[in-house]
Structure 1
Amino acid sequence: MKLHYKGTYDLNPDSLPAAPAKKDAVPFKEPDSIEKIAWIANGIALVLLVVLAIPIVALYKTRLIFSIGFWIGGGLSLLTCFPHEILHALCFKDDVYLYTNLRQGMLFVIGTETMSKRRFIFMSMLPNRVFGVLPYGLGLLFPSCSVLLGLGWCAITMGAGDYLNVFHALTQMPKGAKTYMSGIHSWWFIPEENEDR
């Protein structure tokens, strides 16, 4: 993997890395602009904040949510933004490009190599498991770790765009299909028998 930091995304899809079209490739049915993706992802994030607060309140009333440690952890989640993208990048074998889009509250990576549905889902979910699910689960089990609970609570929601990618892969890619990114879109295709990736 070779990471290229590209700076602020200029909202021009033509400026993003594009892959050569694969034979019979089908575009994911997904939002057609980064702005629409951001709106949907932010909506998912707000819903997740509420849903993930329910177990906390059910187990500990409001004691943990109003603790200083919880909110310190929530603030620390902002420090995971770049590491989150680096974990995505590590799942690629070839060139991968990191962009910021702070106006829409997003950072993202794009790599144009092909990958299996399983690897695509693993790549999409890896940072959310490391920075979100793991600390959230530990925080629920051990209330003295309210910093971890706050970190996980916020970090899980920061992966909302990733969950959207996983949903599209699970609902649109048939068995044996491979996927690749090109610009802001993902595509799937059925590889020929002699294709090695």
Structure 2
Amino acid sequence: MRLHYKKAFNGDMNSLPKHPHEPGAVKFKEIDDFNQLSITLNLLSFLLFIILLIIDVLTFKRFDFTSKAGLIGLCLSFLVLIPHEFLHAICFKGDVEMYTALNKGMLFVTGTETFSKSRFVFMSLLPNLVFGFLPWLVALLFQDWSISQILIVLGTVAIAQGIGDYYNVFNALSQMPKGARCYLYGMNTYWYMPQQNKKNPTREE
């Protein structure tokens, strides 16, 4: 993996890396407009945050978002945004470009290689498991730990921040047939059946 930081995304979809279209490739049924995508994902992220917050209040004995520990957890959830993208990036095997779109509340990485469905799902979920679900579940299971208050807030916010990744996972699981591979083309994702292209052999997993 070779990571290239491209700084702020200028909104030009044509400037993003594009894998050459494979024969028979099918575009994911997904939101095409970047502004609409950012608004939709931010609204869904807020809704998920509220749901998690309700669970926290009902199940965590001493939940206090405004405590010193809670504020530390909140700060950590924003400090891990770049490491979050780096965990996405290490799942690639070639060149990866990282962009920020802070005015849209988004950061993302993209590249031109192809993925099996399982590796695409793993790539999408890895940072959310590490920074979100793991600390959140540890905090709920071990509430007497001194750092549990930090972990519950970190996990709650980090899980909600990963809404775009869950959107990609949902699309992959619901649209890609068995044996299909996928690739990124600008802001869009396409899937194809590798056996349809005998002259372009399947990429290794």
Query: 1:149 maps to what in 2?
Result: 152
**Gaps in structure 2 of 5+ consecutive residues:** none
Query: 2:109 maps to what in 1?
Result: 109
Paired with 1:34 and 1:80, the residues of 2 have a C-alpha distance of 24
Paired with 2:85 and 2:185, the residues of 1 have a C-alpha distance of 18
- Given the alignment of the two structures, is residue 196 of structure 1 paired with residue 190 of structure 2, yes or no? no
Q: TM-score, length-normalised on structure 1?
A: 0.95
Amino acid at match of 1:49: F
Asked whether the 8 Å contact 1:38–1:106 carries over to 2, the reply is: yes
Paired with 2:117 and 2:87, the residues of 1 have a C-alpha distance of 17
Amino acid at match of 1:136: W
Query: 1:89 maps to what in 2?
Result: 89
Asked whether the 8 Å contact 1:80–1:131 carries over to 2, the reply is: yes
How far off its partner does 1:138 sit?
A: 1.1
**C-alpha offsets along residues 95-126 of structure 1, whole Å, 9 cap, x if unaligned?**
11100101001110001101100000000000
Task: Let me know the Cα RMSD of the aligned residues.
Answer: 1.4
Query: 2:3 maps to what in 1?
Result: 3
Paired with 1:42 and 1:60, the residues of 2 have a C-alpha distance of 26
How far off its partner does 1:86 sit?
A: 0.3
Paired with 2:35 and 2:118, the residues of 1 have a C-alpha distance of 27
Comparing 62-71 and 109-118, the one that deviates more: 62-71
Paired with 1:141 and 1:48, the residues of 2 have a C-alpha distance of 21
Q: Secondary structure at the match of 2:80?
A: helix
Query: 2:43 maps to what in 1?
Result: 43
Q: 1:181 aligns with which of 166, 179, 184?
A: 184
Asked whether the 8 Å contact 1:77–1:151 carries over to 2, the reply is: yes
Q: TM-score, length-normalised on structure 2?
A: 0.91
How far off its partner does 1:61 sit?
A: 5.7
Paired with 1:82 and 1:34, the residues of 2 have a C-alpha distance of 21
Paired with 1:149 and 1:158, the residues of 2 have a C-alpha distance of 14
Comparing 30-39 and 86-95, the one that deviates more: 30-39
Asked whether the 8 Å contact 1:56–1:64 carries over to 2, the reply is: no
Paired with 1:7 and 1:142, the residues of 2 have a C-alpha distance of 39
Asked whether the 8 Å contact 1:178–1:191 carries over to 2, the reply is: yes
Asked whether the 8 Å contact 1:77–1:155 carries over to 2, the reply is: yes
Asked whether the 8 Å contact 1:177–1:189 carries over to 2, the reply is: yes
Identity %: 48
Asked whether the 8 Å contact 1:74–1:153 carries over to 2, the reply is: no
**Gaps in structure 1 of 5+ consecutive residues:** none
